[in-house]
Amino acid sequence: MGLSSGLSSARGALRAAASRSHTDRPHWAARIEDVKNAVVGGALRSLHWDLRLQPFHGFGSGAQVRVLAKVLYASPGTPADFHDQPVHDMRTMAVRGWRNFAGQIAPHRTVHVLLGDQQFTVRADRSGIVDAQLEVALPPGHHVAVLWTAPGNEVRANITVVPDEAEVGLVSDIDDTVMVTWLPRPLLAFWNAFVVHQSSRQVVPGMPMLYQRLAREHPAMPVFYLSTGAWNVFPVLERFLYRNGYPDGPLLLTDWGPTNTGFFRSGPDHKHRALAQLAAEFPTMRWILIGDDGQHDPSIYAEFSRRHPDQVDSVLIRQLTEPEQLLAHGSRRPRGRSAHRTGNPLHLEAPDGHGLLSELQRTGRIPS
């Protein structure tokens, strides 16, 4: 029965794909992924697997909130909060990364959201991701949204509402900026994402202290962690940031799967879109942009600065060592360390958080 149900769903997916115009037709890899999800999903439903939600940290202003989550299948009897464990639960630290990629998504599912005193109905995309903008008035601070697909599988998602008086925000890259991963090299990316224990990842020296100092200088400052990493590693990253003393804040990740245009999503395009969305959602905010010179951060931040010159406070770039540069992109030379510098906004570089903090103190941005 499971195979029959799965094949029926697969035929439906193929008919839907065939009905699209040629220009709208997804990449062949995306079509294969859709068929796989239909077949596996049908089989799991016949085995009475249930839907479970993995909530992510949402955010917004006083009038609009962005809610983020992922819809997954789970074996019968799996607790509703299976994907919603406390970030401080040490029992979940020593888990190999591959477990985060072992689940099966449930595309296009309806999800209900209770936030404040309002209830909303949203829908997951073809990757099982819920990314919804909800019109709701909430006071600044921490809030909790309740999400469910059916009664009994409710989970709670943290929501940060940024106060109107916040003038400065921080956007930080993750890989090789706050955490040493050398992620862009495929073999090392596989090793770090699938093999290494969550508890063995290394912090970039001085970065937690730098972020804490910036948070003290700007008490209302929201912090966003922007990465090309997959949503699958959200629990790993969230616990890493918590364990190493980084300020709490939403993570803006992506999906590694195929799209309408290619086999993999473009990491730089994801960062460009995320920054543009933040600029639109918080038009009066001036951003501190922090990244590294191992890949595209200098050029991405320079482009954002050209497009939004009044919304950038400063650009802080961590300089990778020669071995790290070699691992990052195959050359000992940094990518664009000097080519993307601009006189406005302030552009500072140093090998780690200690050096960047010293540079900020030297320029008078932070008191010594």
Whether the predicted pLDDT of 327 surpasses 70: no
**Per-residue confidence (pLDDT) for residue 299, from 0 to 100:** 95
**Mean pLDDT estimate for the chain:** 83
**Per-residue confidence (pLDDT) for residue 266, from 0 to 100:** 64
In a 3-state reduction of DSSP, which class is residue 177? coil
Residues of the chain with CATH 3.40.50.1000: 168-362
Task: Tell which CATH classification among 2.60.40, 1.25.40, 3.30.70, 3.40.50 matches the domain 50-161.
Answer: 2.60.40
Cα separation, 251 vs 225, in Å, equals: 5
Mean pLDDT value across residues 309-334: 77
Q: Which range has highest mean pLDDT (13-27, 104-118, 257-271)? A: 104-118
Mean pLDDT value across residues 316-344: 63
**Per-residue confidence (pLDDT) for residue 18, from 0 to 100:** 46
Cα separation, 273 vs 105, in Å, equals: 24
Any idea which of 129-143, 194-208, 262-276 has the lowest mean pLDDT? 194-208
**Per-residue confidence (pLDDT) for residue 35, from 0 to 100:** 87
Answer yes or no: are the C-beta atoms of 165 and 220 closer than 8 Å: yes
Residue 303's pLDDT band, with cuts at 50, 70 and 90, is very high
Mean pLDDT value across residues 94-118: 79
Residues of the chain with CATH 2.60.40: 50-161
Q: Which range has highest mean pLDDT (1-5, 82-86, 288-292)? A: 288-292
**Per-residue confidence (pLDDT) for residue 258, from 0 to 100:** 58
Whether the predicted pLDDT of 21 surpasses 90: no
Q: Which range has highest mean pLDDT (15-29, 87-101, 244-258, 333-347)? A: 244-258
**Where are the extended beta strands (E) located within 11-149?**
50-55, 58-60, 64-74, 110-115, 118-123, 129-135, 141-148
Tokens of 198: 């969550």
Using alpha carbons only, what angle is made at residue 157 by residues 62 and 304, rounded to the nearest 5 degrees? 55
Cα separation, 201 vs 339, in Å, equals: 31
**Per-residue confidence (pLDDT) for residue 186, from 0 to 100:** 54
Any idea which of 128-132, 190-194, 266-270, 302-306 has the lowest mean pLDDT? 190-194
Whether the predicted pLDDT of 20 surpasses 50: no
Mean pLDDT value across residues 211-233: 94
Cα separation, 316 vs 296, in Å, equals: 13
Cα separation, 130 vs 1, in Å, equals: 29
**Per-residue confidence (pLDDT) for residue 265, from 0 to 100:** 60
Task: Tell which CATH classification among 3.40.920.10, 3.40.50.1000, 3.40.50.10320, 3.50.50.60 matches the domain 168-362.
Answer: 3.40.50.1000
**Per-residue confidence (pLDDT) for residue 232, from 0 to 100:** 85
Mean pLDDT value across residues 238-261: 84
Whether the predicted pLDDT of 93 surpasses 50: no
Q: Categorise residue 51: left if φ over 0, alpha if ψ from -120 to 50, beta otherwise.
A: beta
